[in-house]
Amino acid sequence: MIISIASGKGGTGKTTVATNLCASLDTDFMLLDCDVEEPNAHLFLNPNFTGKEKVNAPVPKVDLSLCTYCKKCMEICRYGAIAVAGETVVTFPELCHSCGGCTVVCPEKAITEIDRFIGTVETGSLSLPQTPSFGRGLLEIGQVMSPPVIRQVRQLEKKKNLTIIDAPPGTSCPVIASMKGADFVLLVTEPTPFGLHDLTLAVEAVKLLGIPCGLVINRAGIGNDDVKNYAQNENIPVLLEIPFDKQIASAYSKGELLVQALPEYKEIFKRLYTSIEAIVNRKGDA
């Protein structure tokens, strides 16, 4: 089973829910931090990193001694990443989407591909009794293509066991790359107008993917009841409410888990997992 934890709005508590859920489980699992622009899960779970691999994107390299300046490469490229002007060919690797079109279309076979470094995938294990596997991606500073880094993190998934994914905020391509193929999306929001607005966008994305979802309302008590009313109207189960509590906020600020600061939450997160499991199994039976 794959559970993806997403939100729409940033800073609502995705990582809090992901890390505390992990620290409460008795079964073995794998945690993947797919917020490759700003990964935070490691700050709360102190993984022991043992592996590191580069994420490279193939970009074109033109052998000018073979090039006849026919411009077919420039014509097929939708990203403006290769330009032929007179007897020069210029490539713009940062614009390249690595589709490979230019290499295929070149009649002289003058274009080969070289690797461009865009990020890193780090692997290791968490210091919990089951020593669960952990993986995270890290987009290199100044690089724009986060989906390939996310996809490489997700290659670590083993379909049979439980995988928990900490997704990035938003509703565009990096979020889709982090939710696609999941069995369940756990949406984390806060009961404010911003939280509600971005939740509705996230729910649209989840619907588009046809994945069942449930809601965690974090910082319950601030704002208003609109999120709850929305969830009721949309038939989205509210699986957990975490009240706004300065003690929780203070523990979080220090990198402490909620289940360490307030151990009674361990049972609460276990129940959260059980309710997710029940929803996924029900869908499997139907």
Partner 1 sequence: MKELVILSGKGGTGKTSLTAAFASLAGNMMLCDADVDAADLHLIMDPDIQETHDFAGGYEAEIIPDACTGCGQCMELCRFDAVKPVEGAGIFYIDGLDCEGCGVCADLCPESAIKFEEKICGQWFASSTRFGDMIHARLGIAEDNSGRLVALVRDEARKRVLANHIDLLLTDGPPGIGCPVIASIGHANAVLIVTEPTVSGIHDMERVAQLAAHFKMPAMVCINKYDLNPDQAQAIEAIAEKRNMEFVGKLPFDPAFTKAMVQGKSIMETHADSPAATQIKKIWNRVMEHPAMKLDRLC
How far CA 273 is from CA of 80, 220, 277, in Å, comes to 47, 20, 6
DSSP single-letter state for residue 95: G
Q: Are 241 and 220 in contact (CB under 8 A)?
A: yes
| Total count of residues recorded for the chain | 286
**Nearest-angstrom CA–CA distance, 218 and 160:** 30
**Nearest-angstrom CA–CA distance, 131 and 116:** 34
- Position 171 contacts partner 1 (CB under 8 A): yes
Tokens for 182, please give them: 């999941």
The residue with tokens 């934890």 is 5
Only segment of 75-83, 124-132, 154-162, 228-236 that touches partner 1 (CB under 8 A): 75-83
**Residues 48, 79, 229, 278: which binds partner 1 (CB under 8 A)?**
79
Q: At residue 33, what is the residue type?
A: D
Only segment of 24-32, 40-48, 84-92, 154-162 that touches partner 1 (CB under 8 A): 40-48
Task: Give 246's Cβ-side CA count (13 Å radius).
Answer: 0
* End-to-end Cα, the chain, rounded Å: 16
- Position 178 contacts partner 1 (CB under 8 A): no
How far CA 160 is from CA of 28, 93, 150, 163, 176, in Å, comes to 11, 38, 20, 9, 21
Cβ 187 to partner 1 shortest distance, Å: 13
**Residues 124, 132, 169, 214: which binds partner 1 (CB under 8 A)?**
169
Residue numbers 223-282 binding partner 1 by CB under 8 A = 223-224, 246, 249-250, 252-255
**Residues 4, 24, 91, 98: which binds partner 1 (CB under 8 A)?**
98
**Residues 193, 234, 267, 282: which binds partner 1 (CB under 8 A)?**
193
Q: What would the DSSP string read from start to end of 244-271?
A: --HHHHHHHHTT--HHHHSTTHHHHHHH
Closer to partner 1 at the Cβ: 39 or 132?
39
- Position 286 contacts partner 1 (CB under 8 A): no
Q: Are 41 and 18 in contact (CB under 8 A)?
A: yes
Only segment of 82-90, 125-133, 222-230, 267-275 that touches partner 1 (CB under 8 A): 222-230
Cβ 65 to partner 1 shortest distance, Å: 25
- Position 174 contacts partner 1 (CB under 8 A): yes
Only segment of 8-16, 25-33, 125-133, 261-269 that touches partner 1 (CB under 8 A): 8-16
Residues lying near partner 1 in the complex (CB under 8 A): 8-12, 15, 37-38, 40, 43-44, 76, 78-79, 97-101, 104-105, 139, 141-146, 168-176, 180, 190, 192-194, 197-198, 201, 204-205, 208-209, 222-224, 246, 249-250, 252-255
